[in-house]
Amino acid sequence: MLRQCAWCLRLMDSVGEPTSSLPVAKIYEASHGMCRACGNLWLEQVLQDTEKQAALQSLPMKADLTCLY
Ligand SMILES: [Zn+2]
C-alpha cells in the first residue's frame, strides 16, 4: 500500500523511510502517517517540551499532533 507522510507529504516505505526527496500532492488513497524525519523532529520537540514541563506521562496522542502546529 502506498504510504505518505501527512506532515511533509513525501512518500515513504513501510518502515517510514522517505522514498522521495520532494513532497508530492496529497494522495487520498495512500495511508498517511509520519515519516522518520518528521518523527525525529517531533520527538525532539516533545522532549524539549517535556523537559520544561517534566510531564513525560502526558505525551499527546498521535491524533492530536496537528494541534501542535
Ligand atoms: Zn515527513
* Ranges of each domain in the chain: 3-40
Residue 36 CA to ligand 1 centre (angstroms): 7
8-64: per-residue pLDDT in tens? 999 999 999 999 889 999 999 999 999 999 999 999 999 998 888 775 565 555 555
CB 2 within 8 Å of CB 29: yes
Residue 20 CA to ligand 1 centre (angstroms): 10
Residue 67 CA to ligand 1 centre (angstroms): 16
Residue 6 CA to ligand 1 centre (angstroms): 7
Question: Computed from CA positions of residues 59, 39, 5, 32, in that sequence, does the dihedral angle turn out positive or negative?
Answer: negative
Residue 16 CA to ligand 1 centre (angstroms): 8
Say whether pTM exceeds 0.85. Answer: no
